[in-house]
Amino acid sequence: MSELCLYNTLSRSKERFEPLDGKVARVYSCGPTVYAQQHLGNLRAYLFADLLKRALRFSGFEVRHVINITDVGHLTDDADLGEDKMELAARKEGLSAWDIADKWTQVFKRDLEKLNVLPPDVWCKATEHIPEQIEMVATLEQKGLTYRIDDGVYFDTSKDPHYGELARLNLKAQQVQERIEGAAAKRSPVDFALWKLSPKDDTRRQMEWDSPWGRGFPGWHLECSAMSSKYLGAPFDIHTGGVDHVPVHHTNEIAQAENALEVRPWVRFWMHGAWLMFEEGKMAKSKGTGMTLDQVEGRGIDPLAYRLFVLGAHYRQQMSFTDEALERAQTAYSRLVRHALELELAQDSAGVSQVPGFRKRFREVINDDLNAPQALAVLWEVVRSRQLGGVEKRTLLHEFDEVLGLGLAEARIAAPELNARIEDLIRQREEARRARDFAASDRIREELEAEGIILEDTVEGTRWRRA
Ligand SMILES: [Zn+2]
């Protein structure tokens, strides 16, 4: 049996994966900043994390998965400048920052559910882990790795000889380039805020807390270092995010955690998903070019068709979003669902000896750094095979869908046409029975039974199930 290999950004190569304890893979995924609905580009990152999680399970590992919710302290600029995105959105929408966070967290979770993304074991919010974050800053301060300036406490990157290794930063070149833009008072442009102090003027923040350094709020990177270690221990197995997290957010998470917790490497595998490109460039909310899942549904496209679209490219491969590509994915998805529904009722068996071969090929491509496009190719081969019988196809489809998550094995895809037809026959049968036409009633029952649908008469009416 082939073994699971994953691309590790740390080593820039594929490495064989096994959990640290041999059994449970501990995975942390950077979550969204909840000040608006996540656009399709953001959602791609969670589809990638979900594929990873399903592949880990497919390999026989248990998974403990944590996703955070950034509900405070993410400034409009990653380099500690600009305004807090939550406070900004609150002012724009005329709601409190807490209500904004709540509203968009619910929408995010609902979107993931529509995409058939398995929920994590732990959802954790930055605002509910302020003491843990303060403690980490205090630890770093005790170790002499921080300094204070007017607007907060900063991490002194010059004290960390390993700083920037994940991103392979050329710090000298970066300093020259960024000196112009960086906050003037920072000792180095790459130093970053651990704790930001609330402004001294009378503009009051809605979200602020007392700390040993004064009233304020945590730097964005801090929450992930503190919460991942709290729920997964340190070191842990896999940390996921978008490629855009490599140079700043993940680089800074590592600096904080490795120094505060004295463990290196703090995370064994760093995995990064590529961007979804939307016409002029990266799909980014700040540029107002993002499309949401609501908009996708508004066009009559099933969210799972978007999932199929995303699986059509390797997670490390940049994708271009176009309306045509999305519509093609919907056509393909409808076709796949139709096949799956037909196979639900299939009773013909053939080609049993070929089943292990398909199974092996599917496992091999998934184990090769989650090669979803090739896994889909194997799935289509099964569907179109002339050698396999319906029973064998159904078995393979259900197995593969454990990893692909297209809802093919579940009634969730709802078989709208099939359901409608069965409901219709049940109504006709009820009418026949009311008219005391028992021959007609029995005929309908037998007709459905022949298709593998069993009717059960209960006090609340007639229900059906698959045999
Ligand atoms: Zn993070």
CATH architecture of 299-413: Up-down Bundle (1.20)
What's the gap in Å between 267 CA and the centre of ligand 1? 13
Question: Quick one: pLDDT band at residue 359, thresholds 50, 70, 90?
Answer: very high
What's the gap in Å between 44 CA and the centre of ligand 1? 16
- Which residue in 129, 141, 173, 171 sits closest to 256, CA to CA? 141
What's the gap in Å between 410 CA and the centre of ligand 1? 33
What's the gap in Å between 249 CA and the centre of ligand 1? 6
Residue-range domain boundaries for the chain: 5-286, 299-413, 416-466
Q: Which residue has the tokens 């669902």?
A: 337
What's the gap in Å between 219 CA and the centre of ligand 1? 11
What order do you get walking across the sheet with 146-149 strand by strand? Answer: 146-149, 152-155, 192-197, 216-218
What's the gap in Å between 301 CA and the centre of ligand 1? 31
Mean pLDDT of 119-129: 97
What's the gap in Å between 307 CA and the centre of ligand 1? 23
What's the gap in Å between 169 CA and the centre of ligand 1? 19
The packing angle between helices 372-384 and 355-367, to 10°, is 170
What's the gap in Å between 33 CA and the centre of ligand 1? 10
- The pLDDT value recorded for residue 415 is 55
What's the gap in Å between 273 CA and the centre of ligand 1? 13
pTM (predicted TM-score): 0.85
What's the gap in Å between 123 CA and the centre of ligand 1? 13
What's the gap in Å between 366 CA and the centre of ligand 1? 26
What's the gap in Å between 69 CA and the centre of ligand 1? 9
Separation between Cα atoms, residue 106 and residue 96, nearest integer Å: 16
What's the gap in Å between 376 CA and the centre of ligand 1? 30
pLDDT top residue among 463 and 222: 222
Domains 5-286 and 299-413 share a fold: no
Classify domain 5-286 at the CATH superfamily level: HUPs (3.40.50.620)
Question: Quick one: pLDDT band at residue 284, thresholds 50, 70, 90?
Answer: very low
- The pLDDT value recorded for residue 419 is 66
What's the gap in Å between 104 CA and the centre of ligand 1? 18
What's the gap in Å between 250 CA and the centre of ligand 1? 7
Separation between Cα atoms, residue 304 and residue 43, nearest integer Å: 12
What's the gap in Å between 279 CA and the centre of ligand 1? 27
Tens-digit pLDDT profile for residues 174-193: 554 554 444 558 899 899 99
Separation between Cα atoms, residue 59 and residue 382, nearest integer Å: 21
pLDDT top residue among 299 and 242: 242
Tens-digit pLDDT profile for residues 110-123: 999 999 999 999 99
SS3 for the chain, per residue?
CCCCEEEECCCCEEEECCCCCCCEEEEEECCCECCCCCEHHHHHHHHHHHHHHHHHHHCCCEEEEEEEEECCCCECCCCCCCCEHHHHHHHHHCCCHHHHHHHHHHHHHHHHHHCCCCCCCEEEEHHHCHHHHHHHHHHHHHCCCEEEECCEEEECHHHCCCCCCCCCCCHHHHHHHHCCCCCCCCCCCCCEEEEEECCCCCCCCCCCECCCCCCEEECHHHHHHHHHHHHHCCCEEEEEEEHHHHHHHHHHHHHHHHHHHCCCCCEEEEEEECCEEECCEECCHHHCCCCEHHHHHHCCCCHHHHHHHHHCCCCCCCEEECHHHHHHHHHHHHHHHHHHHHHHCCCCCCCHHHHHHHHHHHHHHHHECCCHHHHHHHHHHHHHCCCCCHHHHHHHHHHHHHHHCCCCCCHHHCCHHHHHHHHHHHHHHHHHHHCCCHHHHHHHHHHHHHCCEEEEEECCEEEEEEC
Separation between Cα atoms, residue 189 and residue 181, nearest integer Å: 8
What's the gap in Å between 382 CA and the centre of ligand 1? 39
Tens-digit pLDDT profile for residues 58-111: 999 999 999 999 998 787 776 677 788 888 888 888 888 889 999 999 999 999
What's the gap in Å between 251 CA and the centre of ligand 1? 10
Burial state string for 260-271 with b = 16 or more CB within 10 A and e = fewer than 16: bbeeebbbbbbb
Residues paired with 320 in a beta bridge = 277
